[in-house]
Amino acid sequence: MTDNAPILFFDSGVGGLSVVAPTRVLLPQAPIVYAADSAGFPYGTRSEAEIAARVPALLGRLVERYRPRLVVIACNTASTIALAAVRAALDVAVVGTVPAIKPAAAMSRSRVIGVLGTAATVRQPYVDDLTARFASDCTVLRYGSAALVEIAEAKLAGAAPDPAALARELDGLFAQPGGAKIDVIVNACTHFPLLEPEMAALVPAGVRFVDGGPGIARRIVHLTDGQTWPARAEDVLVFTRLGEAERRLATALDFARVEAL
């Protein structure tokens, strides 16, 4: 393992930057390769079969090119569907992202939790399993939103989120039977923490948000304990399709290099 070996973060878009941010706080010298599957974006509206075939193949190519010390699938949808297949295919440690139902259950006083993710994530049996294991005494309401993914991408490109559009998506949780009692919302898509400040202004007082980003950052620190880092890191942003929209987005982000896979 060389000092320059990066941590590879992977998502369909740039939502995984919500996982990169707490990682950079704990490991400021870590070189980062952030790969966005712009050609396959968004994953939340794709079938399980498409994601299960696409993600391991793309990560195989990325690992071959960048030789990372660690792979982070910074995407709930890809993790809940393809994590086992990726781990079986790659000869490198892989960290996944799963809905933060366990900490949400520990936080909730009303015992009613909202899970806000993509449609592909919220329908997964993995979510049923997490609920049974960690929130069996809670009512867990789910809502899948494709719109919030697009709004988060647009925000990072410089467009201010529309409060009315955010409120419509949040109503997908609160308008369900029992939804008025929600006191914790799980951001079960890595894009959604990017909108947390705007969403927090629209929910009832006392409702809190939780996501897996800080926990994943701590896991990365644990897995890289004792490893050495370069004196200066050069971060790389990779797109599977590098068109005009991706170039505009890259301009708004802080990466030393931008490349196409």
Give every CB contact of residue 52 below 8 A, 6+ residues apart in sequence.
81, 82, 85
At the top level of CATH, which class does the domain 101-211 belong to? Answer: alpha beta
Bridge partners (DSSP) listed for residue 71:
8, 94
Locate the domains of the chain by residue range. 7-97+214-260, 101-211
pTM given for the model: 0.94
Output the CA angle 234-237-243, nearest 5 degrees. Answer: 145
Residue 32 has φ and ψ, to the nearest 5°, of -125, 130
Kindly list the catalytic residues.
75, 189
| Residue 150 DSSP SS3 | helix
Run of H or E residues at 142? strand 139-144
Whole-number pLDDT of residue 254: 82
Q: For tokens 């049974």, what's the residue?
A: 132
Cα distance between residue 167 and residue 118, in whole Å? 16
Cis amide leading into 42 (omega within 30): yes
- The reply to whether domains 7-97+214-260 and 101-211 share a CATH topology is yes
- Digit-by-digit pLDDT tens for the chain (261 residues) are 678 999 999 999 999 999 999 999 999 999 999 999 999 999 988 999 999 999 999 999 999 999 999 999 999 999 999 999 999 999 999 999 999 999 999 999 999 999 999 999 999 999 999 999 999 999 999 999 999 999 999 999 999 999 999 999 999 999 999 999 999 999 999 999 999 999 999 999 999 999 999 999 999 999 999 999 998 878 999 999 999 989 989 999 989 899 999
Burial (CB < 10 A; 0-12, 13-18, 19+), residue 81, is buried
> Does the domain made of 7-97+214-260 have the CATH classification 3.30.420.40?
no
Whole-number pLDDT of residue 234: 85
Cα distance between residue 83 and residue 81, in whole Å? 6
Q: Name which of 109, 67, 69 is nearest 224 in CA terms.
A: 69
Whole-number pLDDT of residue 1: 67
Cα distance between residue 21 and residue 185, in whole Å? 20
